[in-house]
Amino acid sequence: MKHGWRIESIGAVANIVSGGTPKSRVAEYWNGGVPWITPKDMGKLRDERVRRTSRTLSEVGIANSSAKLVPANSVILSTRAPIGHLAINEIPMSFNQGCRGLIPSERLDSRYLFYFLRANVNLLNELGTGATFRELSKTALESVEIPIPPVPEQQRIVAILDEAFAGINAAIANTKRNLVNARELFESYLNDVFTQKGDGWSEKRLREICDRITDGTHQTPKYYDNGFIFLSSKNVKEGVIDWDNIRYIDEVQHVNMQRRLAPRINDILLRKNGAGYGKAAIVDKDVIFDVYVSLAVLRPLEFILPRYLLHFINSPFAMQQFNSRIKGTGVPNLHLEEIQAVIVAFPDDVKEQQRIIDGLDAFNTEFQLLEAVYQKKLGALAELKQSILQKAFSGELTREEVAA
């Protein structure tokens, strides 16, 4: 520890305030002039500073609940669902019981505290307790030890971190933009392929080019530690089946399910519902398995190559059709009749289908390699942030080290 630095508990250098929620049925408690933030709101923040919130309280609501008001430049920390979202409030603010406010004493710079908590999110999570969801108690948070240099040194560290993180964040934003551009290029290529019209091409609905389109069992199965493989929508990524994170059912359930549907190699598995609806993967293993109702199984006829159909379903042209068939505002769900009605454009010649498959596979391989490079760079930048933070709170941080 550097000369002049001390180790203190957070509770000794900051006042920690717990949050609360007024009764929702009392209208006069709400829509006043006091910003009120929740962990969910904090997860959506694009900046570490916050001024506006989606909901507000009245002074009466504050007075008649456990909600508290913290002054500007406090640090607000989500302490459950999840532990670790952070923000600095630019104006006086309140929050619900999923957060705690840390009001720094005159010995502690608020942004120094913010960066310290960011550097120790893993520790904060380890200190959380609870079976259903982990929560960081006020007592546990107060007991966390923080190195306290003189305030001018804290401000020097913050200035270096601000400068370093501005550069890193710019690099992250640029990398994410490149990743989006690469994905858009691939999707544009897909769209160009599947919106072709002309001689030698046909358009038919999925029900006209598939031997069958059906979904898995509508009964929630009983799971076992081993047995017969059982897949759900969680096992279908874009173009790939996750065979590693599977569940198992017993023989009795398996036999009953196989009477109705026996998926096989080269079938297409299509996600029917949830956030990833409309995405598909091909059965690439000759194994026996069963599926849940969240998956539709498509078995193309002999004049449609399975991988051609797979690429088509994962194209923007197909997704536009799926999106147009989703109704309501709840969990997205594609019904079988809506899937069956999707229009597919395809060349009549299977050799031309194969040529398209080869081109798309090659393009996809290049895209995945590029995506891996960008993801690796994002990981390296995140590690760099953490490395700089660790040096900052051990007294090793200098501008020269950051520049290097």
Q: Given this model, what pLDDT does residue 38 score?
A: 97
**Residue 217's domain is classified under what CATH number?**
3.90.220.20
Burial 147-174 (b: 16+ CB within 10 A, else e): bbbeeebbebbbebbeebbeebeeebee
Number of structural domains in the chain: 3
Q: Are strands 268-271 and 210-215 parallel, antiparallel or unpaired?
A: unpaired
User: Do 291 and 372 reside in the same domain of the chain?
Assistant: no
User: Do 271 and 174 reside in the same domain of the chain?
Assistant: no
Mean pLDDT by 10 residues, the chain (404 residues): 87 97 96 96 93 96 95 98 96 97 97 97 95 92 97 94 93 93 86 81 95 95 96 90 96 96 96 91 96 97 96 92 81 91 94 94 90 93 91 77 52
User: Do 343 and 359 reside in the same domain of the chain?
Assistant: no
Tell me if 195 is assigned to some domain. Answer: no
User: Do 21 and 144 reside in the same domain of the chain?
Assistant: yes
User: Do 206 and 337 reside in the same domain of the chain?
Assistant: yes
Note whether 314 and 280 are within 8 A (CB).
yes
Residue 386 domain boundaries = 150-178+351-404
User: Do 124 and 213 reside in the same domain of the chain?
Assistant: no
Could you tell me the CA-to-CA distances from 13 to 19, 72, 84, 104, 110 in Å, in that order? 19, 17, 20, 6, 11
Q: Given this model, what pLDDT does residue 194 score?
A: 84
Q: Measured between alpha carbons, how far is 182 from 44 in angstroms, rounded to an integer?
A: 25
User: Do 167 and 250 reside in the same domain of the chain?
Assistant: no
Cis peptide bond upstream of 35, omega within 30: no
The residue written with tokens 């006020």 in the block is 138
Tell me if 168 is assigned to some domain. Answer: yes
Backbone angles phi, psi at 139, to 5 degrees: -60, -45
Q: Given this model, what pLDDT does residue 102 score?
A: 98
Run of H or E including 353: helix 350-392
Run of H or E including 311: helix 306-313
Which residue from 13, 18, 20 is spatially nearest to 143, judged by alpha carbons?
A: 13
Which residue from 305, 339, 306 is spatially nearest to 321, judged by alpha carbons?
A: 339
Tell me if 375 is assigned to some domain. Answer: yes
Q: Any idea of the CA torsion for 278, 279, 282, 288, to the nearest 10 degrees? A: -80
User: Do 171 and 240 reside in the same domain of the chain?
Assistant: no
Query: Residue 259 corresponds to which tokens in the numbers above?
Result: 């009477």
Q: Given this model, what pLDDT does residue 193 score?
A: 84
User: Do 207 and 342 reside in the same domain of the chain?
Assistant: yes
Backbone angles phi, psi at 274, to 5 degrees: 80, -175
User: Do 48 and 114 reside in the same domain of the chain?
Assistant: yes
User: Do 170 and 263 reside in the same domain of the chain?
Assistant: no
User: Do 122 and 216 reside in the same domain of the chain?
Assistant: no
Q: Given this model, what pLDDT does residue 4 score?
A: 83
Tell me if 283 is assigned to some domain. Answer: yes
